[in-house]
Chains A and B, each alone.
Chain A
Amino acid sequence: QVWQIRLDMHLLNHDGNITDAASIAGIVALCHFRRPDVSVQGEEVTVYTPEERDPVPLSIHHMPICVSFAFFHQGTYLLVDPSEREERVMDGLLVIAMNKHREICTIQSSGVVMLVQDQILRCSKITAVKVAEITELVQKALENDHKARKEGGKFGFAESIPNQKITAFKMESAAVDTNNVGEQAGEIIAKADPPSEVFANPILHTPGTAQIGEGIENSWGDLEESEKEEAAEEEGESEAAAFECQKTETEDTSVMSETKKDEPIVLSDSEEEEVVILEPQELPRKTR
């Protein structure tokens, strides 16, 4: 029998680089977690409730933390911890996961950038520095929480909200220069064409159907003719159904000859063989 651990991560705000944030959140959650204490005597296993015995932490050997690098212009420019806008336009992404003992746990490279060896070495040096800082921050936060819990002070998510510690709820406002807006708007209006004629009076054909303005002629040319003929032959068919058999046959044949007149339309696409557009076949008519 073993313990099963489940880690649920909720993304509150995506402003770029969720990989890094998620890796920090995950490892801190695992370090912070306490599981119920267990004692095993031979075959007997006793699981103590949190009230009986203090829950014990998981055995975490080391804390791997991801750091992401965004590359631009074939590796000329490098950005650490890209924001959302930067992520959207980056050429390539390099993710390095390292722990504070400078051991690389994961390297992932994606995108259209070809990376050189010394670039990757430089990135890993930057990662080592960042990971050392972050690990120290994490340790301090865990200690503070541990102290607060022991001394009975308030802790947890709800506490951090009023102190503005949760940056997911903050929105940085970007300053917009609105000095010339009035002039710009005036210029645009002066240069623009006057609005097209407005049809204010809808014509009522029947209750529930109104026509506003007039439609424009269909400008598809060739295609339109064959469509019209198809429409004609369909009309011919439906009307013919009301008449006697012989009359329908003559109608059909006359319509058939019309379609045969149409040349197959050949598309001049480069390497392809002659492309022939098939006209819809006449359906065999069931005579009554």
Chain B
Amino acid sequence: PCLSPGDTSVLAGLYGPAEAKLSKELPDRAALEVLLRPKVGLPGVLERSREQQLRQTCEAVVLGALHPRTAITLVLQVLSDAGSLLSCCLNAACMALLDAGLPLCSLFCGVTCALGPDGAITLDPTARQEQEARAVLTFAIDSRERKVLMTTTKGSCSVEEMQQCLAAAQRAADTVFQFYRDSLRRRYSK
């Protein structure tokens, strides 16, 4: 599925659970692998770090114990980047997991917050807003109790500000989960 809040687009493809290579298989769980391909150039260190963050978030929700010794591969291709890329990737990943019918214990969504120099919180910032912000925080929020699955911060902010951003993100998560519901309803109602 292709997800684009504003003008950021990420295409996600999920393959699995399929047979894993001997070197990669885990005896009790499915081995999850994430590949993030940037729009221009070859994947570098930043992509590797994003891949690990996505992988750990997905592993927290996927019931890997139901498919031991298999490999689940998630490939994300960045089509265009106009800000909030990581949360777009998180949303695309969750929709891919849903679309493929993998067993999950909950859904998750990604929300990005930008903290302006004056302390104003902007959700899902554009590339320009991200650049001008003092800190950019991305949260992966789970669907059952709106708990935090993963946090990434770029820049510096105080603990109170982070709590405020988190509260705002949790409220925004509702909109995203409603979007999941609507798109799935559309897809399966034909």
Q: Is B19 an interface residue (CB 8 A)?
A: no
Q: Is A151 an interface residue (CB 8 A)?
A: no
Q: Is B7 an interface residue (CB 8 A)?
A: yes
By size class, the interface of chain B is 10 to 19
Task: Indicate if the CB atoms of A156 and B77 lie closer than 8 Å.
Answer: no
Q: Which residues of A lie under 8 Å from residue B41 when comparing CB positions?
A: 6, 8
Q: Which residues of A lie under 8 Å from residue B40 when comparing CB positions?
A: 6, 8
Output the least CB separation between B188 and chain A (Å). 14
Interface string of A2-35 (1 = CB under 8 A from B): 0000101010100000000000000000000000
Q: Which residues of B lie under 8 Å from residue A242 when comparing CB positions?
A: none
Q: Is B26 an interface residue (CB 8 A)?
A: no
Once the chains are docked, how many angstroms separate the CA of A194 from the CA of B178?
A: 50
Task: Indicate if the CB atoms of B37 and A161 lie closer than 8 Å.
Answer: no
Once the chains are docked, how many angstroms separate the CA of A158 from the CA of B126?
A: 14
Q: Which residues of A lie under 8 Å from residue B79 when comparing CB positions?
A: 10, 157-158
- A11: nearest chain-B partner, CB-CB: B77
Once the chains are docked, how many angstroms separate the CA of A157 from the CA of B6?
A: 12
Q: Is A220 an interface residue (CB 8 A)?
A: no
Of B4, B6, B11, B39, which is within 8 A of A12 by CB? B11
Output the least CB separation between B64 and chain A (Å). 24
Q: Is B8 an interface residue (CB 8 A)?
A: yes
Q: Is B2 an interface residue (CB 8 A)?
A: yes
Q: Which residues of A lie under 8 Å from residue B82 when comparing CB positions?
A: 158
Q: Which residues of B lie under 8 Å from residue A157 when comparing CB positions?
A: 9, 79-80
Task: Indicate if the CB atoms of A156 and B37 lie closer than 8 Å.
Answer: no
Task: Indicate if the CB atoms of B11 and A156 lie closer than 8 Å.
Answer: no
Q: A6-B41, A8-B40, A10-B37 are in contact. Are A158 and B4 (CB under 8 A)?
A: yes
Interface string of B1-35 (1 = CB under 8 A from A): 01010111101000000000000000000000000
Output the least CB separation between A148 and chain B (Å). 14
- B38: nearest chain-A partner, CB-CB: A8
- A162: nearest chain-B partner, CB-CB: B4
Q: Is A77 an interface residue (CB 8 A)?
A: no
Q: Which residues of B lie under 8 Å from residue A199 when comparing CB positions?
A: none
Interface string of A58-88 (1 = CB under 8 A from B): 0000000000000000000000000000000
Of B2, B6, B77, which is within 8 A of A161 by CB? B2
Task: Indicate if the CB atoms of B77 and A158 lie closer than 8 Å.
Answer: no
Q: Which residues of A lie under 8 Å from residue B80 when comparing CB positions?
A: 156-158
Once the chains are docked, how many angstroms separate the CA of A169 from the CA of B8?
A: 16
Output the least CB separation between B143 and chain A (Å). 25
Q: Which residues of A lie under 8 Å from residue B39 when comparing CB positions?
A: 8, 10
Once the chains are docked, how many angstroms separate the CA of A130 from the CA of B184?
A: 40
Output the least CB separation between B47 and chain A (Å). 13
Once the chains are docked, how many angstroms separate the CA of A266 from the CA of B79?
A: 64
Output the least CB separation between A30 and chain B (Å). 14
Task: Indicate if the CB atoms of A158 and B7 lie closer than 8 Å.
Answer: yes
Once the chains are docked, how many angstroms separate the CA of A158 from the CA of B6?
A: 8
Interface string of B48-86 (1 = CB under 8 A from A): 000000000000000000000000000001011010000
A-B contact pairs, 21 of them (CB 8 A): A6-B41, A8-B39, A8-B40, A8-B41, A10-B37, A10-B39, A10-B77, A10-B79, A12-B11, A12-B77, A156-B80, A157-B9, A157-B80, A158-B6, A158-B8, A158-B9, A158-B79, A158-B82, A159-B7, A161-B2, A161-B4
Excluding A10-B37, A157-B9, A158-B9, 9 further A-B contacts by CB distance (< 8 Å) are A6-B40, A6-B41, A10-B39, A10-B77, A12-B11, A158-B4, A158-B6, A158-B8, A161-B4
- Ranked 6 nearest A-B pairs via Cβ: A158-B7, A157-B80, A158-B4, A158-B9, A157-B79, A158-B80
